[in-house]
Structure 1
Amino acid sequence: MAASEWGAQLRAFRQRMGLKQIALEEELGVSQAFLSRLETGTSAPSEALTARITELLERPCNRLMFDDWRATVALSPALSSLLAYE
């Protein structure tokens, strides 16, 4: 994944969760300056940091509800659908 894509995902996650950069830097173990460079796409994460970011973004409590539904449909051996009753 390109550095700009990591940055966009991190920024969107941080904003969705209502976090400041300081909270995310503590979680990932990086400085605020480096986190800022990641979010702007001017720096790329190392392999170890990529693994920590991926683990953070994929925790069930950090994913959007629709992402869980998409994963369920993609991995389900049976036919799945989402219906709305009005």
Structure 2
Amino acid sequence: MFRLMGTLYKNSKILKDTVICDETGNRRTQKVFNSLEAICYSFDLEKPIWLESNLSDFKRHSKTRFYQDNFIEDIDFDYLEIRVIEED
């Protein structure tokens, strides 16, 4: 099972969080993108743009943060953090 947690933070406090489970046979990259899309749908957000820093953080630590620079529209939180919490 693959589980990705998404959390919205503002002023160092959690506003919302959710966990998405993906039990498909897709590759890890596709599971991450599908789960991120589900998280954004759950929070009623547009999908963030992956920058080079996000890619390197995610490859190294299995988590990354999306700030205002990653979104086209204005956001009312400080950042969205995603992290893998379970992989099989």
Shorter-chain TM-score tier: 0.3 to 0.5
Select the structure that is richer in strand: 2
TM-score by length of 2: 0.32
Q: Give the TM-score normalised by the residue count of structure 1.
A: 0.33
Q: Which has the higher contact order (CA 8 A, sep 6+)?
A: 2
Which structure has the greater CA radius of gyration? 1
Structure richer in helix, relative to its length = 1
